[in-house]
Structure 1
Amino acid sequence: MDASIGRTAREQLTGRYVLSLVAFLALVYGVTQDIETVFAITLGLAFVETISILRDTPTVDSRWVGVGLGAFITIASLAWFAWELTTAAGTGGPVWFPALTALIGVWFIFDARADFADGTDSYAPDDMDASEMMLVLNHGHLVVEELRQGPKTVPELADACDLTESRVREALDVATDDGMVYPVDGGPIDDVERYALDESKVGGVAFVRSNGKRILRRIARPFRR
């Protein structure tokens, strides 16, 4: 496992990337002239990079990363909260903020616990990187705009959108998750599956409603056991 973690670290912490972080910290110091601020940012960056490396290492169970992340946030937040309440040298900031971050840390712990109980892994890295996801979303936009004209089959969508059928199916997989696009019967003569667009789930209000429900379900998941 140690070798795998080291290999992942070398892949992510390239020389150019490390130099960019050093340049960023130098810029922060040049602007603030405060070494404590630079030290705090350095600790934050080190923590984030450590979590990223552990999550991207195949031999590391990402659920334990979630437990560690939650425990770290909770302990650090409670220490901050106690510092604000009991020490005259406190930062003078609102005490509700460290209390809130402590609750967020507890949520991470319970969420990882739910993963262990369900046999799932919410903290595993996604199969798609950001660029691939953006490409799929762009293709999804093309498919949705074409379905505004009426139901179509995958080959018809591929031809109209100038995409391969595999790309169309990727876009449809995303669009059918929330019911924006749904399959319909081809009819008594043509039984080829077509896809249609649910206009009620298109637009800004529908987007907020759909994603708002999804976010609320995700937040409530650890406590629905």
Structure 2
Amino acid sequence: MVPGFARTARERLTIRHVLSILAFLAIFYGVTRDVDTLGAIVLALGLGETVEILRDTPSVDNRWVHAGIGVFVAVGSLAWFAYELTIAAATGGPAWFPGLTFLAGVWILLDARRDFLEEPTHESHSDLGTSEMMLILNHAHLVVDELQAGPKTVPELAEGCDLTESRVRDVLEFATDDGMICRVSDQEGSPARYALDESNVGGVAFVRSNGKRILRRLARPFRR
């Protein structure tokens, strides 16, 4: 597990990626001079990057990563809620918000429980976790922007979008199933190239293809 984690970390944490994060933090601090908020952002980014590396590591069971996220969100929300009700009560902080995030953490735990109950099969897009679905949609936006310039191969998309090739393939599998991206004809033996299907790109097409899928995902933990 450890060698796989280290290898995935090296693949994900490219110089360009790390520099972009440092630049964002430097700009935020230069504008706000708010050390407390900066620390919270650093913590959130660190946790987010760790989760993504774990998810991309083949030797790590993503079901446990999923459950760990749920525990972290639920416990962290309870601690935040207690803080708002006691120490920060005089400031009138939004006590309802940690209550909402606690419910989100419970939903994630129930969804992780569903992962353990179901037989491990090839993961279809209708069974993806909500966080994974949102991540793929975010990456899909990057890939679509990159394909505006014309057809490209997986390595070209990975370099242009600053993503790992495995993440690009996840997006391509998702987008080709929906008809948003298609594989273009190429010469035998040459790398496969992908292009946009303009008829399936746009706000209406996005809502049509993803609205029902998101609703099904929200209901997944409660299905029998």
* TM-score class normalised by the smaller sequence: 0.5 to 0.7
Per-residue deviation, residues 111-152 of structure 1 (Å, max 9, x unmatched) = 111011112464589766279539956x93699xxxxxxxxx
Higher relative contact order (CA 8 A, sep 6+): 2
Counterpart for residue 3 of structure 2? 3
Q: Between Structure 1 and Structure 2, how many residues are aligned?
A: 177
Per-residue deviation, residues 3-47 of structure 1 (Å, max 9, x unmatched) = 111111111112332222122111111001111111110000001
Deviation at 1:101, TM superposition (A): 0.7
Deviation at 1:208, TM superposition (A): 4.0
SS at structure 2 position matched to 1:110: helix
The structure with the larger Rg is: 1
Q: TM-score w.r.t. structure 1 length?
A: 0.64
- Does residue 164 (structure 1) correspond to residue 190 (structure 2)? The answer is no
Counterpart for residue 129 of structure 1? 168
Unpaired runs of 5+ residues, structure 1, are 144-157, 173-179, 181-202
Is the contact made by 2:172 and 2:181 (CA closer than 8 Å) also made in structure 1? Answer: no
In structure 2, how many angstroms separate the alpha carbons of the residues matched to 1:210 and 1:12? 29
In structure 1, how many angstroms separate the alpha carbons of the residues matched to 2:38 and 2:209? 40
Counterpart for residue 154 of structure 1? none
Is the contact made by 1:114 and 1:222 (CA closer than 8 Å) also made in structure 2? Answer: yes
Counterpart for residue 70 of structure 2? 70
Is the contact made by 2:78 and 2:98 (CA closer than 8 Å) also made in structure 1? Answer: yes
Q: Give the alignment of 1:184-203 within 5 angstroms.
A: none
Quickly say closer, same or farther: Cα 1:106–1:17, change in 2 above 3 A.
same
- Does residue 20 (structure 1) correspond to residue 41 (structure 2)? The answer is no
In structure 2, how many angstroms separate the alpha carbons of the residues matched to 1:111 and 1:87? 33
Quickly say closer, same or farther: Cα 1:113–1:15, change in 2 above 3 A.
same
Counterpart for residue 30 of structure 2? 30
- Does residue 140 (structure 1) correspond to residue 179 (structure 2)? The answer is yes
Is the contact made by 2:77 and 2:101 (CA closer than 8 Å) also made in structure 1? Answer: yes
Counterpart for residue 213 of structure 2? 214
Letter of the 1:15 partner, please give it: I
In structure 2, how many angstroms separate the alpha carbons of the residues matched to 1:117 and 1:76? 26
Unpaired runs of 5+ residues, structure 2, are 137-165, 187-191
In structure 1, how many angstroms separate the alpha carbons of the residues matched to 2:36 and 2:49? 20
Is the contact made by 1:83 and 1:90 (CA closer than 8 Å) also made in structure 2? Answer: no
Letter of the 2:57 partner, please give it: T
Deviation at 1:222, TM superposition (A): 0.6
Is the contact made by 2:8 and 2:56 (CA closer than 8 Å) also made in structure 1? Answer: yes
Identity of aligned residues (%): 53
Q: TM-score w.r.t. structure 2 length?
A: 0.65
Task: Report which stretch shifted further, 64-73 or 116-125.
Answer: 116-125
In structure 2, how many angstroms separate the alpha carbons of the residues matched to 1:52 and 1:46? 10
